């Protein structure tokens, strides 16, 4: 726990200090004390801090959604995007750009359309798998994957027939970025993801029981159907809000939960919080790399999370296999 | 303790159980036997509300189970099913999950008392020596004991076991059933157990329920139920029923086809 918090703080400070104008950590207190006016102050508080906050919220939200879904499906390969939510959001955003609505209301239209797209996709997934009051887990997964395919095909179709200037903004949106000018939106995302963390924690014991299987959980007095529904909606909300604000930032929701589980074990009472913190730190760190590594060009943060996360994960997995520990999740 | 009246139920729209009437009294050791697919497992699942009722009622300690919450039921009835956990967790962590039904609404962590109860259950089942080992690193017999320890940690008044001796050697079969018998006699735990092995059922159960195609064919003492006529009819297999010279309980011997032909000649 301490390690994860330290990592988060270090990532935050690193993100604050680095960029095209390097500001050493030791100078930060004096800059903040001097208050508004200096260019460094506005770089720190108006450019870098919102980005860090958004990274915190989104990294945490995606990892949390990953833990919830992996626990609920008892399948280590499930991640927030498996449910088709990201596909729906991408479709919504692409439609928004092509139709030109994003130029009418530049601040809120993209997130709104993304969220609508995500919501519209989740609805049929949820409804088709609700039969006689019970949520069919395998069906949920399959329909999610299928809807993902359908919406990604539709996005490709839009890309194929849209004009060049739209093309680039769609592609950039899909690749994901923590660039977000609106403070209000950042605060909304941050509070929703923290709220979801608190709510999901109420179900930490239920998730522990569910990791034994649905039948066993029922034997332990868990109302399995109700728990599954709530968890599914929580994960959908977390994913939907992340995707609609930051685009599709891959890998965080898959790798971070795995990684944390390897270190702390199966217990969701620690896993939920720890994944949130680790995910937040990881995304802030990756975003800073994306900003600075080939500065002044900014790489899509999804590229960094994918490469870094993948390498780190394979390394840790290999190490575990060599030392003979088995049973990842 | 349990009263099942005219219960019909199953999965989807297909009834698996037909017009079941069946009681379990406090302090009894009851066995359920019957061929594969006769509804033994479904019968025990109905008691914990996992089977959809089409008709009939089930009462637990005088209360209709449909009006009991899952949690309330789990504090009184514990089930040892045939599925060991696949998640990487230690035996102790697993056993402690048995306390989940007893946790308060905003309680997330076990109290000292919860740990004491779990440790007592592990002591009863001899699982303490390997409590820190991962489930995946324990043997079949040890896993079965851990499953029982978890169920005991729920502090139930009724313990249901679904074929706890499947895939175990005779040493473990006997030690698990001896343990059940001790819990039954010394702690007054009521036990309802599904068994495939007719001879184990005969030796250990006070009363045996013989099921056939979703109905209860016969209930009674082992010597009443285990006679060659009923067994041959239900299992459609030729058997010979003898008596164990020491316990005087009936035991059932099978007859291979070859031997049967030889005798007929």
Q: What is the pLDDT of residue A327?
A: 45
Judged against a pLDDT cut of 90, whether residue A57 lies above it is answered with: yes
pLDDT at A103 > cutoff 90: no
φ, ψ of residue A220 to 5 degrees: the values are -90, 15
Domains of chain A (ranges; CATH) run 2-322 (1.10.3470.10)
Report CA torsion sign: A185, A186, A189, A191. negative
The answer to which of A79-88, A148-157, A209-218 has the lowest mean pLDDT is A79-88
What does the pLDDT read at residue B176?
93
Question: Would you place residue A328 in the very low, low, confident or very high pLDDT band (cuts 50, 70, 90)?
Answer: very low
Kindly report the CATH number that applies to the domain delimited by B2-225: 3.40.50.300
Identify which of A284, A308, A278, A246 has the alpha carbon closest to the alpha carbon of residue A15: A284
A177 close to A300: Cβ distance less than 8 angstroms: yes
Beta-carbon separation of B69 and A211 below 8 A: no
Look at the block and give the residue holding tokens 């104008």.
Answer: A21
Q: Is pLDDT at B229 greater than 50 in this prediction? A: yes
Indicate yes or no: CB of A221 within 8 angstroms of CB of B71.
yes
8 Å CB contact between A52 and A35: no
pLDDT, average across residues A80-102: 83
Q: Please give the average per-residue pLDDT across B256-260, as a whole number.
A: 87
List % helix, strand, coil for chain B (3-state, nearest 5). 40, 30, 30
- Cα–Cα dist B201/B207, whole Å: 9
pLDDT of residue A133: 63
Q: What is the mean pLDDT of residues B136-163?
A: 92
Asked if B83 reaches chain A (Cβ–Cβ under 8 Å), the answer is: yes
Highest mean pLDDT among A88-92, A274-278, B87-91: A274-278
Q: How far is the C-alpha of A308 from the C-alpha of B213, rounded, in Å?
A: 58
Is residue A189 very low, low, confident or very high in pLDDT (cuts 50, 70, 90)?
A: very high
Q: In angstroms, what CA-CA distances link B134 with A57, B87, B93, B143?
A: 35, 9, 9, 10
Q: What is the pLDDT of chain B when averaged over all its residues? A: 91
- Of B22-36, B70-84, B143-157, give the lowest mean pLDDT range: B70-84
Taking CA atoms, A40 is separated from A44, A133, A183, A284, B43, in Å, by 6, 57, 19, 20, 73
How many residues in chain A?
A: 329
Range list of β-strands (E), chain B: 2-11, 14-24, 29-33, 52-60, 63-64, 77-80, 158-162, 190-194, 207-212, 215-220, 239-243, 250-254
Helix, strand and coil in chain A, % to nearest 5:
80, 0, 20
Q: Calculate the dihedral angle through the C-alpha atoms of A213, A217, A219, A222, rounding to the nearest 10 degrees.
A: -160
Percent of chain B with pLDDT over 70: 100
Domain boundaries, chain B: 2-225
pLDDT at A132: 58
pLDDT digits (tens, 9 = 90+) for B24-68: 999 999 999 999 989 999 999 999 888 888 999 999 998 998 888
Under DSSP, is residue B53 helix (H, G, I), strand (E, B) or coil?
A: strand
Can you tell me the mean pLDDT for B200-227?
A: 94
Instruction: Name every chain A residue with its beta carbon within 8 A of the beta carbon of B74.
Output: 219-221
The answer to whether the beta carbons of residues A222 and A206 sit under 8 Å apart is: yes
Q: What is the pLDDT of residue A58?
A: 94
Q: Residue A135: is its pLDDT beyond 80?
A: no
Average pLDDT over residues A120-126: 83
**Token pair for residue A323?**
């030392």
Q: Is the dihedral of CA A215, A217, A223, A229 positive or negative?
A: negative
How much is the pLDDT for A329? 41
Residues 6+ apart with CB under 8 A from B58: B2, B3, B4, B5, B7, B46, B47, B64, B65, B66
- Closest chain B residue to A71 measured between Cα atoms? B87
> What separation, in Å, do the N-terminal and C-terminal C-alpha atoms of chain A show?
19
Which run of H or of E encompasses B117?
A: helix B112-124
Name the DSSP letter for residue B98.
G
CA atoms of B213 and B234, how far apart (whole Å): 9
Query: Before A11, cis peptide (omega within 30)?
Result: no
* In the block, residue with structure tokens 């709104």: A112
Q: Which residues contact A121 (CB under 8 A, 6 or more apart)?
A: A84, A85, A87, A88, A89, A91, A147, A151
Do B29 and B191 form a contact (C-beta atoms < 8 A)? yes
Mean pLDDT, chain A, integer: 84
Name the pLDDT band for B180 (thresholds 50, 70, 90). very high
With a CB cutoff of 8 Å and minimum separation 6, the contacts of A111 are A185, A244, A245
Indicate the pLDDT class of residue B264, thresholds 50, 70 and 90: confident
Q: Are A288 and A52 in contact (CB under 8 A)?
A: no
Q: Which residues contact A75 (CB under 8 A, 6 or more apart)?
A: A141
Distance, CA of A236 to CA of B235 (rounded, Å): 51
Please state, as a whole number, how many other Cβ atoms lie within 10 Å of the Cβ of residue B182: 12
Q: Are B136 and A329 in contact (CB < 8 Å)? A: no
Q: Per the CB < 8 Å rule, is A218 touching B101?
A: no
Q: Do A218 and B89 touch (CB under 8 A)?
A: no
pLDDT given for residue A99 in this prediction: 82
Q: How far apart are CA A253 and CA A292, in angstroms?
A: 23
Q: Could you tell me which chain B residue has the CA closest to the CA of A76?
A: B87
Candidates B88, B103, B151: best to mutate against A (most CBs of A within 10 A) is B88
Query: In chain A, which residues have their Cβ closer than 8 Å to the Cβ of B159?
Result: none
Determine the pLDDT at residue A323.
60
Contact A234, A199 (CB under 8 A): yes
Q: B7 in helix, strand or coil?
A: strand
**Contact check, Cβ <8 Å, B93/A265:** yes
Q: What percent of chain A has pLDDT over 70?
A: 95
With tokens 């993948």, the residue in question is A310
In chain B, which residues have their Cβ closer than 8 Å to the Cβ of A202?
A: 106
Q: What is the rounded CA–CA span in Å between residue A82 and residue A131?
A: 21
Which segment of A116-125, A272-281, B69-78 scores lowest on mean pLDDT?
A116-125
Stretch (H or E) spanning A131: strand A130-131
Phi, psi of A88 (to 5 degrees): -60, -45
* SS3 assignment, position B52: strand
CA dist., res. B127 & res. B115, Å (int): 14
Nearest-10 Cα torsion for A199, A200, A206, A211: 180
Q: Does B82 touch chain A (CB under 8 A)?
A: no
> Does B231 have pLDDT greater than 60?
yes
ipTM: 0.86
Nearby residues of A132 by Cβ (< 8 Å), 6 or more positions away: none
pTM given for the model:
0.88
d(Cα B117, Cα B110) in Å, to the nearest integer? Answer: 11
pLDDT tens-digit map of A6-37 = 888 888 888 888 776 777 777 777 877 777 77
pLDDT of residue A63: 95
Question: Quick one: how far is CA B21 from the chain centroid?
Answer: 18
Q: Give the Cα separation of B181 and B158 in Å (integer).
A: 13
């Amino acid at each position: 726990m301490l390690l994860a918090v330290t990592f988060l703080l270090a990532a935050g400070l690193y993100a604050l200090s680095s960029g095209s104008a390097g500001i050493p950590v030791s100078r930060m207190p004096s800059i903040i004390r001097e208050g508004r006016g200096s260019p460094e102050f506005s770089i720190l508080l108006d450019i870098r801090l919102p980005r860090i906050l958004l990274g915190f919220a989104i990294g945490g939200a995606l990892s949390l959604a990953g833990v919830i879904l992996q626990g609920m499906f008892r399948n280590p390969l499930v991640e927030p995007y498996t449910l088709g939510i990201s596909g729906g959001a991408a479709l919504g955003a692409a439609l928004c750009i092509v139709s030109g609505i994003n130029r009418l209301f530049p601040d809120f239209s993209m997130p709104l359309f993304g969220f609508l797209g995500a919501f519209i996709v989740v609805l049929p997934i949820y409804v088709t798998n609700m039969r006689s009051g019970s949520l069919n887990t395998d069906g949920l997964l399959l329909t999610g994957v299928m809807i993902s395919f359908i919406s990604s095909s539709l996005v490709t179709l839009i890309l194929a027939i849209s004009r060049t200037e739209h093309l680039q903004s769609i592609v950039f949106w899909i690749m994901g970025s923590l660039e977000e000018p609106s403070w209000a939106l950042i605060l909304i995302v941050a509070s929703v993801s923290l709220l979801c963390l608190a709510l999901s924690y109420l179900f930490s014991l239920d998730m522990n029981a569910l990791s034994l299987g649905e039948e066993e959980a029922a034997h332990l007095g868990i109302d399995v159907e109700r728990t599954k529904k709530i968890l599914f909606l929580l994960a959908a909300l977390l994913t939907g809000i992340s995707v609609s604000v930051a685009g599709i930032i891959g890998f965080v929701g898959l790798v971070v939960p795995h990684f944390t589980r390897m270190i702390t074990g199966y217990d969701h009472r620690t896993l939920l919080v720890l994944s949130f913190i680790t995910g937040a730190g990881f995304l802030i760190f990756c975003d800073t790399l994306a900003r600075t590594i080939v500065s002044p060009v900014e790489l899509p943060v999804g590229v960094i999370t994918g490469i870094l996360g993948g390498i780190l994960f394979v390394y840790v997995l290999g190490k575990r296999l060599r030392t003979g520990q088995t049973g990842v999740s | 303790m349990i009263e099942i009246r005219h219960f019909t139920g199953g999965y989807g729209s297909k009834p698996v159980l037909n017009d079941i009437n069946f009681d379990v009294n406090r302090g009894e050791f009851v066995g359920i036997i019957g061929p594969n697919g006769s509804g033994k497992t479904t019968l025990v699942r109905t008691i914990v509300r996992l089977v959809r009722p089409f008709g009939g009622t089930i009462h637990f300690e005088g209360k209709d189970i449909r009006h009991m919450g899952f949690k309330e039921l789990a504090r009184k009835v514990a089930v040892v099913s045939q599925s060991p956990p696949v998640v990487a967790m230690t035996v102790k962590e697993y056993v402690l999950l048995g306390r989940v039904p007893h946790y308060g609404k905003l309680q997330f962590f076990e109290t000292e008392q919860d740990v004491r109860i779990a440790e007592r259950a592990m002591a009863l089942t001899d699982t303490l020596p390997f409590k820190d080992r991962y489930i995946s690193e324990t043997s079949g017999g040890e896993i079965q004991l851990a499953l029982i320890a978890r169920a005991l940690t729920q502090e139930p008044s009724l313990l249901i076991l679904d074929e706890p001796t499947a895939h175990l050697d005779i040493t473990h079969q006997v030690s698990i059933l001896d343990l059940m018998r001790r819990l039954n006699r010394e702690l007054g735990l009521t036990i309802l157990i599904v068994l495939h092995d007719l001879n184990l059922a005969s030796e250990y159960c006070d009363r045996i329920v013989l099921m056939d195609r979703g109905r209860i064919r016969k209930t009674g003492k082992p010597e009443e139920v285990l006679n060659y006529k009923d067994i041959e009819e239900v299992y459609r297999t030729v058997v010979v029923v003898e008596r164990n010279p020491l316990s005087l309980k009936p035991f059932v011997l099978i007859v291979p086809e070859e031997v049967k032909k030889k005798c007929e000649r």
